[in-house]
Structure 1
Amino acid sequence: MQRPIQKEVKTLGNKLSILVKASHQDVLIRLKMMPWIDNKTSIMLMAIFFQ
C-alpha cells in the first residue's frame, strides 16, 4: 500500500500530464523524440519553461 504522499505525487503527475498534453502536445512530441528524455522528464521540463 502506498503512503498518502506518494499517492498525491502520482495524482498530481497525472494531472500535470493531462494539462501539458492538452496545451502543448506539439512540444511534448518533439521532446519525446529525443531518446534520453522520457515522458516524465519532458513534462517536467515543459512545466518549468512554460510557467
Structure 2
Amino acid sequence: MNGLLILIPIALFLGLIGLGAFFWALRNGQFEDPDGSAARILFDDDGDEIK
C-alpha cells in the first residue's frame, strides 16, 4: 500500500510529461507532413541516370 503512494504520483507525473511533449510537438509542426517522410526515399533527386 505504501508503494502505491509513491508509484501513482510518479505515473501521473510521467503522463503529464508525455502529454506536454505531445502538445509541444503539435505546436511546433512536427506532424504537418506525416506522409512526406515515408515517400521521400522513393524519389530520386540526384539527377544521375544510368545510360
With structure 2 as the length reference, what TM-score do the two structures score? 0.39
Q: Which has the higher contact order (CA 8 A, sep 6+)?
A: 1
Q: Which has the higher helix share?
A: 1
